[in-house]
């Protein structure tokens, strides 16, 4: 049989991929089974999609992904239980349209976590419990989200405790992006240290890994992994892709004279970035317990639409025809 990423990395860590139910058929399903041994639902388990009304859950998409994983012996990471984006419209308000109290919101969070974690108990080995709660700029520790405005810091601790009660065997993660940038890294560290010191049931930190050919540097990535794991936490790379554009400069459509072609230069820079980050992952295999790609191939990536429409990206290891790119061969050569 053809060797896949999961086979090359069998002595290191599972290799996962973010999926939608529609990718679990045809040539994409074939590629998934050949290359990966872990799945993350790209959207299906987020609060908006899975809990559209106060008393109604929509399980079909999440169930389909978990069932596919079980049939084929893949692990599943749950993503996510508490986030400021993709929330259902009813979450923060009451029937009159007024903002709910802290007590009401925490009760809603508890009910949600109970229902979702219990349904997949024993089938999901790790959960992203809280996603992106740290501020991007350094004026305060936590992001000024509706969660924070209504509940203060407490929602974080509670989310971990309730997830742990619902499935004591699940590994519970705090997940975020730009975790290698020194200032944000230190703010995340502060939050994690507080949780660990208070005995909150948290087992790991997810580095989303929405990177580019320009960042992180090797030193930034090593420091982040070592800093977080010094707290006794596992580290997982949960949403890996390597954009061929700088993160900040391209938050707009292409301008005249700019091209979104996958040039030989971009291909080379991307290959070097992938080679470097995987070498660092392997160095840290004792604490780095999984690497998940955010989407299967360059045929479809969320970055094609984010932050702006109409600018193609090529961030993954497989091309639009699902063939391994040059970067793939660097990742499996060691
Ligand atoms: C993205 C999905 O890939 C898109 O399909 C969706 O429109 C928006 O969310 N950080 C996360 C992920 O934690 O849940 C996000 O996924 C990407 C950024």
Is residue 300 lining ligand 1, measured as CB closer than 6 Å? no
For residue 250, what pLDDT is reported? Answer: 62
Kindly tell me if the per-residue pLDDT of 248 is higher than 70: no
Report the greatest alpha carbon distance in the chain. 61
pLDDT in tens, 75-103: 999 999 999 999 999 999 999 999 999 99
Cβ 43 under 6 angstroms from ligand 1? yes
- Chain segment 179-235, per-residue pLDDT in tens: 999 999 999 999 999 999 999 999 999 999 999 999 999 999 999 999 999 999 999
Question: What is the rounded average pLDDT of the residues 301-310?
Answer: 85
Question: Residue of the nearest CA to atom 16 in ligand 1?
Answer: 42
CB contact set of 146 (below 8 Å; sequence gap of 6+): 84, 87, 91, 92
Strand segments (E) across the chain: 15-19, 38-41, 75-82, 126-131, 171-176, 204-207, 210-212, 234-243, 288-293
Q: Is any ligand 1 atom within 6 A of the Cβ of residue 304?
A: no
| Catalytic residue (choose from 153, 239, 309, 320) | 239
pTM of the entire predicted model: 0.97
Q: What is the pLDDT of residue 249?
A: 57
| Amino acid 311: pLDDT | 83
Q: Confirm or reject: Cβ of 131 under 6 Å from ligand 1.
A: yes
CA of 77 to the centre of ligand 1 (A): 14
Is the CB of 42 within 6 Å of ligand 1? yes
Comparing 14-18, 138-142, 253-257, the range with the smallest average pLDDT is 253-257
Position with higher pLDDT, 304 vs 283: 283
Question: In whole angstroms, what is the distance from residue 233 CA to residue 24 CA?
Answer: 32
Give the whole-number percent of the chain exceeding pLDDT 70.
99
Ligand 1 atom at minimal distance to the Cα of residue 83 = 13
Ligand 1 pocket, mutate which of 39, 43, 297 (most atoms under 8 A from CB): 43
To the query of whether residue 239 is one of the catalytic residues in this protein, the response is: yes
Residue 227 is predicted with a pLDDT of 98
ipTM of the complex in this document: 0.99
Taking the CA of residue 238 as reference, the ligand 1 atom at the shortest distance is 13
Q: Which of 139, 143, 132, 129 is nearest to 177 (CA)?
A: 132
pLDDT in the model for residue 305: 86
Which residue's alpha carbon is at the smallest distance from atom 15 of ligand 1?
42
Average pLDDT over residues 156-185: 98
């Amino acid at each position: 049989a053809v060797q896949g990423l999961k086979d090359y990395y069998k002595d290191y860590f599972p290799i996962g991929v973010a999926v939608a139910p529609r990718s679990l058929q045809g040539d994409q399903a074939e590629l998934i089974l050949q290359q990966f041994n872990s799945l993350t639902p790209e959207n299906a388990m987020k609060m908006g999609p899975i809990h559209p009304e106060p008393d109604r859950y929509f399980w079909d998409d999440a169930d389909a992904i978990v069932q596919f994983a079980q049939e084929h012996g893949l692990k599943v990471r749950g993503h996510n239980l508490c986030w400021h984006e993709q929330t259902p419209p009813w979450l923060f308000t009451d029937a009159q349209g007024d903002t709910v109290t802290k007590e009401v919101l925490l009760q809603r969070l508890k009910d949600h976590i109970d229902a979702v974690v219990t349904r997949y108990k024993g089938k999901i080995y790790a959960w992203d419990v809280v996603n992106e709660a740290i501020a991007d700029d350094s004026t305060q520790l936590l992001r000024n989200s509706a969660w924070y405005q209504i509940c203060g810091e407490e929602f974080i601790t509670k989310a971990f405790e309730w997830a742990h009660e619902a499935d004591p065997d699940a590994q519970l993660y705090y997940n975020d992006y730009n975790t290698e940038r020194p200032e944000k890294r230190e703010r995340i560290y502060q939050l994690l240290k507080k949780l660990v010191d208070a005995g909150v049931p948290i087992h790991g930190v997810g580095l989303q890994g929405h990177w580019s050919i320009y960042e992180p540097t090797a030193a930034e990535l090593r420091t982040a992994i070592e800093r977080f794991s010094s707290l006794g936490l596992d580290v997982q790379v949960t949403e890996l892709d390597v954009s061929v554009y700088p993160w900040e400069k391209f938050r707009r459509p292409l301008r005249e004279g700019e091209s979104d072609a996958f040039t030989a230069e971009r291909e080379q820079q991307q290959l070097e970035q992938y080679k470097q980050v995987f070498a660092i992952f392997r160095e840290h295999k004792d604490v780095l317990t999984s690497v998940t790609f955010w989407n299967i191939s360059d045929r479809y990536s969320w970055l094609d639409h984010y932050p702006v429409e109409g600018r193609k990206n090529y961030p993954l290891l497989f091309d639009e025809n699902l063939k391994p790119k040059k970067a793939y061969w660097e990742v499996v050569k060691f």
